[in-house]
Structures are given as structure tokens and as C-alpha cells.
Chain A
Amino acid sequence: MAATSAGRIAGLCRQFQRCVSISPSFKLQQTEYCSSRCVSLSNRLSSFSPAVNSAQYRLFHTSQSRKGLEEFFDPPENWGETTVKSGAPWTAKQLRAKSNEDLHKLWYVLLKEKNMLLTTEQESKRQRLQMPGPERLKKVERSMTRLDSAVQEREGALRLLLTGQEKGRPGEWRRNVFGHVYWYRFREHPIPWHLNSRYRRKRFFTPEFVEPHMRLRLEKRIRSKVRKAQLEKQKEEKQAELFPKASAQTA
């Protein structure tokens, strides 16, 4: 293939865009971070979208990547390089425009990419050489966290609509032995709580001898807050002394 790697990646992005039939308002820019494994991905996607012309894919190899363990390494042209061209990470806005199936597939693309980068990083540490393109790791990580947040938003919205529950995992406000009130998240147990000896040892109430300590803690908190406010006030007074308003000159 005479095309440069950058041109290939751009071509892959365009292929991906065509396969995935996104709404016209969203543009997949060429700076998108599509891994080279997008070849196999776009080919797999092409088997689903019937409107795609098979002649478009004659430039790329149409067999799915069957070499499993080869996917743990960079394509051989990146071996020994110091820099590798890679696009920008996925933003949350772009990910929210994708369908569930696309996000699911993208998760695995990113997962495989991250595995490859971790392998390269460990090997570079072993050989005491610089890893080609270390910034890719952060990009993939950020893309994955954003993808997860997009999916969580959708799940939360669905749950709220169907059941009215805000949180997926039930919980309640409880007070621990030290007097702190916190959100206790429930766990699954095979036996009821009154038969669970370890759970019973964990007291969710405050004994009365702890109350003086709670009071002292509260006083300390109030004192520190007041001290901070006084310090701020003193600073402002000093500033007012140095730069009084009466002598302010307007341009």
C-alpha cells in the first residue's frame, strides 16, 4: 500500500464514519483516534450495514484479524520509532452521539489498544528504551472514562424513567460509632442481618460517651472556620490600607 500511515488512518476514519451512519450534524474529524484495528472493526461493521458497496474495501485486506496475540503489539512499522502519529481522544460530546452498539464495540477497540500500549510500555521498561508514543496511553484512558460516563448517564436516565430510582445501588444515611453521618451502601448477604454476627458487631449508632468528643470536634471546626474568616478580613483590611479607594485613579 503506497498510502502513508496518516492517510490510512484518515481513510479508516472515513470508512468507520460511512459504516456507522452517524447523524449529519456530527462530523468525524480526521484527528479522531481510530486505532489501526479499525480495519477489522470497519469490516465487521460493514457486514451489518447493507447499503455499503463492497468495492470500497478492495484497498484494505478484507480478512478479519485472526492473529490473536499479534494484537498485543503495535503494527511492525511502529517498532523502533520514537514518535507515533495518533489523533485526539474521544470527547464525551462525540460519544453521546453514538448508539449503544457502537459504544460497546468502541469499548473493546479501546481495551485492545490499551493492552497493546501497556505491553509496549512494559517491554520498553525492560529494554530500557523509550516507548514509541507514550501519550497514547493517556488518550485511551480518557476516552474510556468518558465512554463509561456516557453509558452511565444513559443507564441512570433509563432507570429514573422506568423505576424512579436515582441510584443503582440502594443505600441509606447511617450514623457510625464516631458520630459521623454517612451514606451506607447495601451489600448482598445470603443470611438476614440479625444472624450476621460480624455485621452486628459494627454498631450503627453512637454511644452516649462519644458525645463530649463530638462536641469538642464541632468546637474545633467552628474555631478554625472563624479563624480563617478573621484572617481573610485582616488581609483585606491590609490591602485597603495599602491601596485606599480614595486615591484610586480612573483612566
Chain B
Amino acid sequence: MRNQDAVKTLKTTHTHKPYRYIMARRLIFPLYQYGNPQLRVFRPNWFLTLVRPGKEQPPDTVQFRVPLEMTKYDVRNYLQKIYEVPVAAVRTRIQFGSNKKRNHLNQRVKRPDYKVAYVQLAQEQTFEFPNIFPEKDAKATEGSVEEMQEKFMEDEKQRQKPDPRRGGVTEWFGL
């Protein structure tokens, strides 16, 4: 495995720590005072979502939605250790989810807040968000309901077309 194994080995020997190093979200990390060992998070509970940027971003920038508790250092370590992505810089901002919309009971509905991280890749790498939903011409299987439906729709469309003998002239003109 990778050399960063030392960071991610599971703690099997018991130590008198008051907290368990499991979930990273909603966990109170131990207090740090000078001389304490580096905090290690095993089995992080943080999930990153790669999103397509709304505004045009430079080619080396990747946009993520991260949990609110994650910091820039957390994002960098996460990507470098788990995905082996070389990260040069991380910038974050918190997006406020609107509380303005109202439901049928006139109660305000809150959309959750989320943190956006703009990650710049190192080593002059570029990333372009791919098209995950390409057009696929799926032919329906023989004798299935979908095939019959498709045939019916095609017949309907054929019926709706105007008389080809009129040469493109609409019915509005009397003759």
C-alpha cells in the first residue's frame, strides 16, 4: 500500500483516550495543547461531491461541495491521501441555502447550507468536467411494451404531418 499507511493504520492497541477516532462529522476532536501528538482521523465520515462549476473556472481548478466542518487542510489531506491527487491550493466559501421559499402551509423551507471548495491542481494538471449523460440510441427489445409504444408514437407523428402533395404550402391557404 501507499507510504502514507502510517497515517491510516487502525488503532488496535487501546489508549486512554476519551474519544473514539471514528466518525469525523459531528465529533468533538481532542483539545490541542503544545506538545500533543498530531490529530489522526481514521475512517473519515466526510464525503466530497465533485460539481460542475456554475461560472467559468481556470482549467486547473476543480470544484467540490464539502461538509461544513471541513477546513482547507482537511480537503487537501483528503484528496492527497485517499485519491492521490496533487493539490496546490484550496479556497473555500460557505454557500447559504435559502430560507425564503414557502411550502403549501406558508412555512419557510430551508435549503441546507454547504461549503464549496475550489481546488487547484499541482504539477500543471488540468481537469474538465465530463459529460456523464451522453446521448445513447437505445433500441427497444423485440416484442416488448416499449417497442409497441415507440411504434405507436411514430405512427401518430406520421399522421400529424401535412399532405406531402401540397409541397409545403399550409392548409390556411384555401386551395
Residues of A within 8 A of B (CB): 44, 47, 66, 68-69, 71-74, 79-81, 100-101, 103-104, 107-108, 111-112, 114-115, 118-124, 126-127, 129, 148, 151-152, 155, 158-159, 162-163, 168-170, 186-190
Q: Render B16-48 as a binary contact track against A, CB cut-off 8 A, 1 for contact.
A: 111110110000101101000000001110011
Jot down 10 A-B pairs with beta carbons below 8 A, ordered by A: A68-B84, A80-B136, A104-B42, A114-B47, A122-B50, A123-B52, A124-B132, A124-B133, A127-B132, A186-B18
Interface membership of B73, Cβ < 8 A: no
Given contacts A68-B83, A80-B133, A111-B44, contact A189 B127 (CB under 8 A): no
CB-based contact A79/B132 at 8 Å = yes
How many pairs of residues, A versus B, come closer than 8 Å at their CB atoms?
Answer: 106
Query: Which residues in A have their C-beta under 8 angstroms from that of B132?
Result: 73-74, 79-80, 120, 123-124, 127
CB-based contact B43/A69 at 8 Å = no
Could you list 10 further interchain pairs (A-B, Cβ under 8 angstroms) beyond the known A72-B50, A169-B20? A47-B1, A73-B50, A80-B133, A103-B10, A108-B82, A122-B49, A155-B20, A158-B12, A159-B14, A188-B28
Given contacts A120-B132, A123-B52, A126-B52, contact A104 B10 (CB under 8 A): yes
The docked-state distance in angstroms from the alpha carbon of A155 to that of B20 is 9
Interface membership of B117, Cβ < 8 A: no
Partner pick for A122 among B19, B51, B79, CB 8 A cutoff = B51
Identify whether the interface residues of B are mostly helix, strand, loop, or mixed.
Answer: loop
Given contacts A66-B84, A108-B82, contact A115 B49 (CB under 8 A): yes
- Shortest beta-carbon distance from A47 to chain B in Å: 8
CB-based contact B10/A190 at 8 Å = no
Partner pick for B14 among A47, A101, A163, CB 8 A cutoff = A163
Interface membership of B135, Cβ < 8 A: yes
Interface membership of B167, Cβ < 8 A: no
